[in-house]
Amino acid sequence: MSKAVYKIVPLRLGEAEVGKVLDAFWSLTKSSGPITVPILAFLVLGGPHPILVDAGMRSAERAMSVHRLGPHRVPIGQSLPEALALHGLKPADIGTCILTHLHYDHAGGCEALPNARFIVQRSELAAAAAPMGPKILEFGSRELFYDRLDVAALVHTLWDQVDLIEGDEEILEGIDCVLYANTHTPGSQAVYVRTAQGVVAIVGDIVRKVDANIDTGIPAGLFYDLESMMRAMKDIKKRADIIWPTHDPVVLEPIREDDFLPLRSFKT
Ligand SMILES: [Zn+2]
């Protein structure tokens, strides 16, 4: 029997202005200042139903007013329904939504998906509900980037659609979740998807920039445990042919005819 192979399409669900220093541990980067980054989700096609990895933010206004973060925008055509419509899909068509983690820019769109099962690590939901640290950070963001409304939806209105997993789990043949505990968040997971171009790792924010983090071995600036982060990057590099972070604009360049956009291959 031939192995299942999937196609992955990045969806642009708005953008945010953030400091470049977020890309590197201890700001070990030559570049400083703000940068506009996309907020991506990934559509995985080829299974019994369309799968979405991450779901974007609840609203740009909320990111700025409640979380007190810098400019956020959802330009016309980049709302979740509009982005899905570009590929002939409606929110109701999404049967599974895998959440790499529950930060506001990844788990905000869950309530727009009426028929999805939500796959999230139990440790991540617990951490989002009862986050460590102060409720408001001086430089912005409440609750270490978790949104109480997203947590409330997952533990109440969407609760019957939530599938908690603990550790590594095969979702479908060729689609695997791997837990990287205490990396970008306590329960961050990467989703490894088999494609015709190789294994794609959808890594959430464990990696922000493949060149700055994976190539140089300097982890991104926002993490819980440095050793866990270093081990995760090593493991991702070993397992993946292509690594797709959530906020690296390079994922959206250059548009190839086959509509597949590999970022970087390590096994050439
Ligand atoms: Zn993010």
Model confidence pLDDT, tens digit, residues 206-245: 999 888 899 888 999 889 999 999 999 999 999 999 999 9
The predicted pLDDT at position 267 comes to 37
Contact call for residues 53 and 39 (beta carbons, < 8 A): no
The predicted pLDDT at position 202 comes to 97
Cα(101) to centroid of ligand 1, in Å? 9
Cα(39) to centroid of ligand 1, in Å? 7
Cα(170) to centroid of ligand 1, in Å? 23
- H helix intervals, 28-72: 60-65
258 CB burial (10 A radius; 0-12, 13-18, 19+): exposed
Dihedral sign from CA coordinates of 101, 102, 107, 110:
positive
| Beta-ladder partners of 17 | 36
Write out the two tokens for 54. Answer: 């991450």
The predicted pLDDT at position 68 comes to 82
The predicted pLDDT at position 69 comes to 84
The predicted pLDDT at position 1 comes to 62
The predicted pLDDT at position 144 comes to 86
HEC secondary structure over 198-262: EEEEECCCCCCCHHHHHHCCCCCCCCCCHHHHHHHHHHHHHHCCEEECCCCHHHHCCCCCCCCCC
Contact call for residues 38 and 231 (beta carbons, < 8 A): no
User: Ligand 1 being an ion, which residues bring their Cβ within 5 A of it?
Assistant: 105, 205, 246
Cα(1) to centroid of ligand 1, in Å? 38
Contacts of 114 (CB under 8 A, 6+ apart): 91, 92
Ranges under pLDDT 70 in the chain:
1, 27, 139-140, 254-268
Contacts of 119 (CB under 8 A, 6+ apart): 96, 97, 98, 99, 163, 165, 169, 171, 177
Q: Domain locations in the chain?
A: 7-250
Percentage of the chain beyond pLDDT 70 is 93
d(CA 178, CA 98): 11
Whole-model pTM: value is: 0.92
Cα(105) to centroid of ligand 1, in Å? 5
Domain 7-250 CATH assignment equals 3.30.200.20: no
Cα(160) to centroid of ligand 1, in Å? 25
